[in-house]
Amino acid sequence: MEQPKPDLVVAIDFGMTCTGVTYASLSTGSETVRWIQRWPGRMQATTWKPHPTVERFRSIIEQAGFGRSPNHKTSIGLTEAEAAAVFVSREAPAIFRERDILLVCDAGGGTTDLSVLRVTNTAGGTLSLEQLDSVFGATYGSARIDTAFGDTVQERLGMAERIAPLGIDINDASLHMMKSIEFQNAKCDYGSLDDTDFFSVAIPNLNKQYGIESLGIVSGEMRYKREDLQALFDQQENLTKNSKIVSLFELIDKQLHRIQQKFPHEQVAHLVLSGGLGNSLYVQKRLRTRFADSASSYSNASLVVCKGLLTDRLQKLKAGVSVLKWKCCRASYGVTHKVLCDPKNPLHFNLPTIVDTIDGKVYVENVVNWGQPLSTDSPITCTFRQHLVQGIEAYEYAVAL
């Protein structure tokens, strides 16, 4: 019996600096993806270990009442990079060829996540994705740039306070200026052809007559040069850490190296940038220069994740299958079993072996298969074979788990 379709599907991307919300009103017969442009919200970095943090979050959602009523369901679905890949596959399917490899870099407010996927079924009308490696990430994001800007503001205000009292709380002022629309726009627009030489950020609650030109404070506003922004993107936090841009490059290079080891005869065809930091024109420009123009980005990159979450759910409701059909999990579970020993297999080197008394062959014991892609639409099954002796005959039978 066909399951009834919901009236409303909502997807939420809980980010560190901004929460993305998309929805589709299926009750009206429309699958149009709509979104809320800016939903205020601030959380901690969300590159979580798969267990137990995600399960705690799932429990909190249930305790809050979501998913308890008969006609309401909640689920924790794709990671940021996975959802971004789903969105890209639906937004621009024509750019992909069968078996193309796609690397998605979701550089958000607090974290950067990477996912590598293979494009399949390009000729079937419903493009599908197969994950080739587990998602991994690091705490690189635009929030670090915000923090660095806040530090420069606090330093200037502290110097100004010693020259002439400001009459304001310096900590509160630097926090408001860090989150101000003037700075956020300047940060995202940096690198565009329309850049001006300077930008100003109002100092909250400061008298408009206040000014110390040597500190860039004029008429109650703090003035910055555009090149000051580049320093925020490129500065080294200390002698042991690379700049934010270089750290992002190294993270991508690490993922490319992992894929080259797993698939030595293939190349990544597309590099897609999404997320809040992915909105930065300067970051986009640097990535295109670094990776020979293979990098692509999308308008409203900070909404790509929640759009991808919704798109995948709508596809599942409509066709019964997900866009991302195969995933590689960060946690791996398996059943120990024995396999025929292969002297040429490096995974079998120096492992204890036994000789089967039934067929006389050499086996490696206590083997677990790790890291296989798992179907998102079908249960996990494993087939094992066991020899039994009945009388003088040997039987072989298969068991599926």
Domain boundary among 187, 218, 234: 234
- Alpha helices by DSSP H, listed for 205-280, are 226-234, 244-262
Q: How many CB atoms lie within 10 A of CB 140?
A: 22
Edge-to-edge strand order for the sheet containing 337-340?
337-340, 362-367, 353-355
How many folded domains does the chain comprise? 2
Number of helices (H), then strands (E), in the chain: 9, 19
What is the predicted pLDDT for the residue at 322? 86
Structure tokens, 202: 């109002």
**Angle value at C-alpha 320, between 315 and 323, nearest 5 degrees:** 40
Does 172 fall in a domain? Answer: yes
Does 250 fall in a domain? Answer: no
The CA distance from 85 to 79, in Å, is 10
- Are residues 217 and 184 in contact, defined by beta-carbon separation less than 8 angstroms? no
Domain boundary among 173, 206, 234: 234
What is the predicted pLDDT for the residue at 41? 46
> Residue 376: which domain range?
337-400
The CA distance from 282 to 163, in Å, is 35
Tell whether the model's pLDDT for residue 121 goes beyond 60. yes
Q: Among 247, 54, 15, which Cα is nearest to 138's?
A: 247
88-111 pLDDT per residue, tens? 888 888 888 899 999 999 888 778
Does 65 fall in a domain? Answer: no
Pair type for strands 8-14 and 295-297: unpaired
Domain boundary among 234, 266, 289: 234
Does 288 fall in a domain? Answer: no
How sure is the predictor about 253, in pLDDT bands with cuts at 50, 70 and 90?
Answer: very high
- Are residues 114 and 105 in contact, defined by beta-carbon separation less than 8 angstroms? yes
How sure is the predictor about 378, in pLDDT bands with cuts at 50, 70 and 90?
Answer: confident
Does 244 fall in a domain? Answer: no
Does 310 fall in a domain? Answer: no
Mean pLDDT of 299-323: 83
What is the predicted pLDDT for the residue at 295? 65
Site of tokens 């699958």: 31
Mean pLDDT of 361-374: 82
Q: Among 98, 97, 84, 104, which Cα is nearest to 294's?
A: 104
Tell whether the model's pLDDT for residue 154 goes beyond 90. yes
- Are residues 84 and 304 in contact, defined by beta-carbon separation less than 8 angstroms? yes
Tell whether the model's pLDDT for residue 356 goes beyond 60. yes
Does 102 fall in a domain? Answer: no
Q: Which of 26-30, 73-77, 209-213, 380-384 has the highest mean pLDDT?
A: 209-213
Does 352 fall in a domain? Answer: yes
